[in-house]
Structure 1
Amino acid sequence: MSAESSTDVDKVSLPTLTAMVIGSMIGSGVFLLPRRFGVETGVLGALIAWAIAGAGMLMLAFVFQRLATRKPDLDAGIYAYAKAGFGDYVGFNSAFGFWASACAGNTSYWVLIMATTSALFPGLGSGDTVLAVACSSIGVWLFCFLILRGVKEAAIINRIATIAKIVPILTFIVIAILAFKADVFTENFWGGDGHYSLASLFEQAKGTMLITVFVFLGIEGASVYSRFARRREDVGRATVLGFLSVLSVFMLVTLVSYGVLTQPELATVSQPSMASVLESIVGHWGSIFIRVGVILSVLGAYLAWSLMAAEVLYIPATAADMPKFLARTNSKGAPITALVMAAGLVQLLLVLLLFTSDALDFMLDLTAALSLIPYLLAAGYALKLTVTRETYSDRESLIPDMVVAALATIYTLFLVYAAGWDHLLLSCVLYAPAALLYVKARRERSLQVFQPAEAVLFGVIVLGAAAGIYGLVSGSIQI
């Protein structure tokens, strides 16, 4: 078989490409939506929130798609865009932030697994008890050991995980639609405290922004699948079709729940709240059905994101943007130091859970908040390309790409605002000590550590970290 025909065989059709995009975007967050929205808003606020998140995330998806086309040489991950656009130290922080976000997300998976299993073992509580943290810690290092042994090709696990999450979600939507109560839905329409105003609706919608970011994490991966397309025009179509399908699923899960339980009831059910809502309709078997799906889905996602977290450190290390020791691999080809370091941060975050008031929500919000800076920098780089006309010929119109990049940048800036100062300062607490890795990498290459502007940025991050630590000690920042 010729190389050309082999390449053709590897290409996939539009429906398959769309399914790949959908599979990469639906994760564990969808099982948590009913309660997270019930805590913050009613039906109208939810519609506004999904409209904002849908439009913003679609613009981000287009940004990554355009960057993959305009800058195909920047294939080292999301941090490469920040580095190319804004310098080495900014690029380093983007890589570290994305890595820390992946580790926080992996921590949330263990919290969710323990909270889900607590129906059988009450001692696990909401995933933040001493027993839950101990069991989670064993799981973290067991997975690390398995990956170091060479568990890199996880096709079978991923297929099982995909079925495990799609079937319960679709079953939940169908049953919830059949059990839909118009009067309950109407009662939940305005939400909040009964003050019907635009300001109230805005605050309600703003409160849901971090969970909408969490459920869409991995959206940058949609552009990766462009190399599998048989036709170039299929890439854009698959991105739009896949994204709209996922958005529809998220909206349906949220909205049908408002037709089953009142907002106060949704706000107080246990997580995974999809299981609680289904249990209220069909009985205990509904909760078990969803919980089994959650565990299988989350374990598959944890394996994938553990590999992702290690790669986020390993790839920059191979390009000398991280210290050399992070590029070490074992006899199986696994990035041993990067994997152990990722597992180590997950372990530290698990211990931190013992001091939080709502472990799952805190870790979900921290995951989303840490991902915002890398996303903002990627959108900013796309906007910069249109301003400088780099990669654009004189005859090309800049307006479509400029509008997309500008909207994506505005959206990510809004997300930073919606996340609040507390999450930004907590992020600085992680970014500040990470500079030690940057200093080591620069010295290994005999380069000046900071340019003047980078030194100022480092100073701002240190001040933010100091403010974050003071806020934790004084109690003004609650975790």
Structure 2
Amino acid sequence: MNESAPMQNNSNIAAAAASQTMESNEHKHSGAAGKVGLLGLTAVVISAMVGGGVFELPQNMAMHASAGGQILAWIITGLGMWFIADTFRVLAAVRPEYSDGLYSYAYHGFGRFVGFLVSYGYWATNTVSLVAYGILITSTLDFFFPGVFTGGTTIPAILVQSLVLWATFFMGRLGIRSGARINVAGTIAKLIPLALFVVTMIVLFRMPQFVHGFWGWTPSGQPAPFDLSSVYAQSRQTMLVTLWVFNGVEGAVVVSANARSQRDVSRATTIGFISILVLYMLVSLLPLGVYAQPALAKLPSPSVAAILGQIYGAWGEWIVNAGVIVSVLFAMLVWLLMLSQMPLNAARDGLMPSFLAQTDSNGTPRISMLYTVLICQFLCIACHYIEGSAWNLMISIVSVLSIPCYLCCAMYLWRISRRDHIWPINARFTRKHGLVIGVLGTFYMLYAAIVAGLDYVMAACIVYAIGTPLFVFARHRANTQDAQGKLFTRAERIMLVLIVIAGIAGVIYVIMTRRV
């Protein structure tokens, strides 16, 4: 029994073969040296996850949860996101030929339209991430130029964001290999202020302070007794924050076509995930042993800088704010490189407009990257008109949009694990391991969608519905019809109708409730 691989016409197969030949010729003299190794892949994973969100964790987490609630939240999110990280490790091992990552798993597992939705969804998700990063950079610059970049949505802020976006675009034109080398240095640079913060918090940490108000606080300001429903509610409220900071766990898989080996992809994912989980827990929990939760919840942005500013004075705050800017700049480069691969791969298979498949002499998807930056530019300008916190809105949208992408990968692993005759005989992971991780990853993503709430789920439906005309346009232009001459299979037509209905319902919901 075969996987439901999408059908391709002869011209698409020829194009794919030509592309593979070009890539082979390009690297035949460089061999393994022309690929990204373990260090570079690990740097991609860490740099993609350690963006600006980590510098906001003390305040973002304390705003919603006490020490007990935060610990429960990290346990739930840590386990859940490990299922997703392990999903990518297993898939990289048992399907090494699917080197296009998330898109390949959806495309070969569930057909053309699902493949398109994951490719488009991942592109949309991380395009919004780039905008969020731009907002954080300019909000941080307000420390150095008070009142000029307040909130990251002023006219000067938009001008700086535009400059950063286009500078990132031209750096990204250097290609994946150059970007990976830059990220090794960038990852080290961004971890220096975080190391200073963690060491400082360990030195000042006091256990009596940490356990005071461990389960939360009453309305009168007194420590609350343990109440399971209250603690669980606190952990649920942090869901979008914790999902946001783990966005990027798939980094090594997304660029796995450029990896020296799929084993390196698996190892980089493990190293990156465990390292970042420990870092996030330390950054969010240690301050609770120095300050009370209500005090942390009121800190200005970025809260890590505010804490070190109180301890060391202006120079401590200056170091962290500089670290935020460096961290986010490198994260933007990583994300631009990663997300530009998605429309490129989909375009090569006729699921997105063919012009997105164009690459330059470095193998960089320049057209895909250009359109990404143009969309980001439009969104940056649109943020000027957003009421409230543009940063919180952007990270919430990113978290929800990423759920279907991760969900499809977990479901694909679940699916192939049930059919042991297509499981590689000498695979590093057993079929049973794949089945357990696939099932647990699927249920965790469904849980995350429920916890995210109707507001943001509806907003995600609107985004996905808006993108469906791209698929129809690409299919018509590529003439990629099935054996019966139809652009959609029956299942795809049903899915399309449901997405459009959900998108329309989302628009009505937003208009009526004025939310999101």
Cα contact 1:17–1:228 (8 A) shared by 2: no
Tell me what 1:365 maps to: 396
Q: What pairs up with 1:65-104 in 2 under 5 angstroms?
A: 65-104=89-128
Q: Which moved more, 1:89-98 or 1:280-289?
A: 280-289
Cα contact 2:121–2:464 (8 A) shared by 1: yes
Q: 1:166 to 1:441 in 2, by over 3 A?
A: same
- For 1:178 and 1:266, the matched residues in 2 are separated by 18
Q: Which moved more, 1:451-460 or 1:64-73?
A: 451-460
Q: 1:298 to 1:190 in 2, by over 3 A?
A: same
Q: Does 1:58 pair with 2:82?
A: yes
1:290-324: per-residue Cα shift (whole Å, max 9, x none)?
01011111111112211222222112112222111
Q: Does 1:200 pair with 2:238?
A: no
Tell me the amino acid that sits aligned with residue 248 of structure 1: V
Q: 1:67 Cα deviation (Å)?
A: 0.9
Q: Which moved more, 1:213-222 or 1:161-170?
A: 213-222
Cα contact 1:41–1:192 (8 A) shared by 2: no
- For 1:453 and 1:344, the matched residues in 2 are separated by 34
Q: 1:408 Cα deviation (Å)?
A: 1.0
Cα contact 1:111–1:126 (8 A) shared by 2: yes
Cα contact 2:193–2:320 (8 A) shared by 1: yes
Tell me what 1:127 maps to: 152
Q: 1:182 Cα deviation (Å)?
A: 3.4
In structure 1, runs of 5+ residues without a counterpart are none
Given candidates 235, 240, 247, the residue that maps to 1:210 is 240
Given candidates 119, 143, 151, the residue that maps to 2:168 is 143
Given candidates 286, 292, 309, the residue that maps to 1:262 is 292
- For 1:153 and 1:405, the matched residues in 2 are separated by 34
Q: 1:248 to 1:300 in 2, by over 3 A?
A: same
Cα contact 1:425–1:465 (8 A) shared by 2: yes
Q: 1:88 to 1:150 in 2, by over 3 A?
A: closer
Cα contact 2:171–2:333 (8 A) shared by 1: no
Q: What pairs up with 1:385-424 in 2 under 5 angstroms?
A: 385-392=416-423, 398-424=431-457
Q: 1:71 to 1:225 in 2, by over 3 A?
A: closer
Q: What pairs up with 1:176-187 in 2 under 5 angstroms?
A: 176-187=201-212
Q: Does 1:253 pair with 2:276?
A: no
Tell me the amino acid that sits aligned with residue 462 of structure 1: V
- For 2:345 and 2:30, the matched residues in 1 are separated by 31
- For 1:420 and 1:44, the matched residues in 2 are separated by 23
Tell me what 2:24 maps to: none
- For 2:406 and 2:201, the matched residues in 1 are separated by 34
Q: 1:74 Cα deviation (Å)?
A: 1.4
1:38-79: per-residue Cα shift (whole Å, max 9, x none)?
111010111111111111111111111111121122112311
| Residue aligned with 2:282, SS | helix
Q: Does 1:324 pair with 2:329?
A: no
Q: 1:310 to 1:239 in 2, by over 3 A?
A: closer
- For 2:62 and 2:421, the matched residues in 1 are separated by 46
Q: 1:433 Cα deviation (Å)?
A: 1.9
Tell me what 2:336 maps to: 306
- For 2:37 and 2:405, the matched residues in 1 are separated by 30
Cα contact 1:161–1:298 (8 A) shared by 2: no
Q: 1:464 to 1:130 in 2, by over 3 A?
A: farther
Q: Does 1:117 pair with 2:141?
A: yes
Q: 1:18 Cα deviation (Å)?
A: 6.4
Cα contact 2:55–2:304 (8 A) shared by 1: yes
- For 2:159 and 2:148, the matched residues in 1 are separated by 12
| Residue aligned with 2:286, SS | helix
Q: Which moved more, 1:132-141 or 1:92-101?
A: 132-141
- For 2:111 and 2:494, the matched residues in 1 are separated by 13
- For 1:329 and 1:140, the matched residues in 2 are separated by 19
| Residue aligned with 1:40, SS | coil
- For 1:427 and 1:393, the matched residues in 2 are separated by 36
Q: Does 1:384 pair with 2:415?
A: yes
Tell me what 2:490 maps to: 452
- For 2:406 and 2:475, the matched residues in 1 are separated by 25
Q: 1:356 to 1:70 in 2, by over 3 A?
A: farther
| Residue aligned with 1:261, SS | coil
Tell me the amino acid that sits aligned with residue 164 of structure 1: A
Cα contact 2:43–2:183 (8 A) shared by 1: no
Q: Does 1:288 pair with 2:318?
A: yes
Tell me what 1:473 maps to: 511
Cα contact 1:17–1:229 (8 A) shared by 2: no
Tell me what 1:462 maps to: 500
Tell me the amino acid that sits aligned with residue 96 of structure 1: Y
Tell me the amino acid that sits aligned with residue 271 of structure 1: S
- For 1:139 and 1:9, the matched residues in 2 are separated by 29
Q: TM-score scaled by structure 1? A: 0.89
Cα contact 2:305–2:317 (8 A) shared by 1: yes
1:71-124: per-residue Cα shift (whole Å, max 9, x none)?
122112311111222111111011111001111111111011011111122221
1:432-474: per-residue Cα shift (whole Å, max 9, x none)?
1211110011112322332222222222222222222223323
Cα contact 1:40–1:192 (8 A) shared by 2: no
- For 1:19 and 1:329, the matched residues in 2 are separated by 24
- For 2:87 and 2:44, the matched residues in 1 are separated by 19
| Residue aligned with 2:418, SS | helix
- For 1:436 and 1:9, the matched residues in 2 are separated by 38
Q: 1:262 Cα deviation (Å)?
A: 2.0
- For 2:168 and 2:268, the matched residues in 1 are separated by 33
- For 2:96 and 2:266, the matched residues in 1 are separated by 16
Q: What pairs up with 1:20-35 in 2 under 5 angstroms?
A: 22=46, 25-35=49-59
Q: 1:166 Cα deviation (Å)?
A: 1.0
Q: 1:325 to 1:34 in 2, by over 3 A?
A: same
Q: 1:393 Cα deviation (Å)?
A: 6.7
Tell me the amino acid that sits aligned with residue 273 of structure 1: S
Q: 1:444 to 1:385 in 2, by over 3 A?
A: same
Tell me what 2:472 maps to: 439
In structure 2, runs of 5+ residues without a counterpart are 1-27, 219-223
Equivalent pairs counted in the alignment come to 473
Tell me the amino acid that sits aligned with residue 378 of structure 1: C
Q: 1:123 to 1:12 in 2, by over 3 A?
A: closer
Q: TM-score scaled by structure 2? A: 0.83
Tell me the amino acid that sits aligned with residue 470 of structure 1: I
| Residue aligned with 1:126, SS | helix
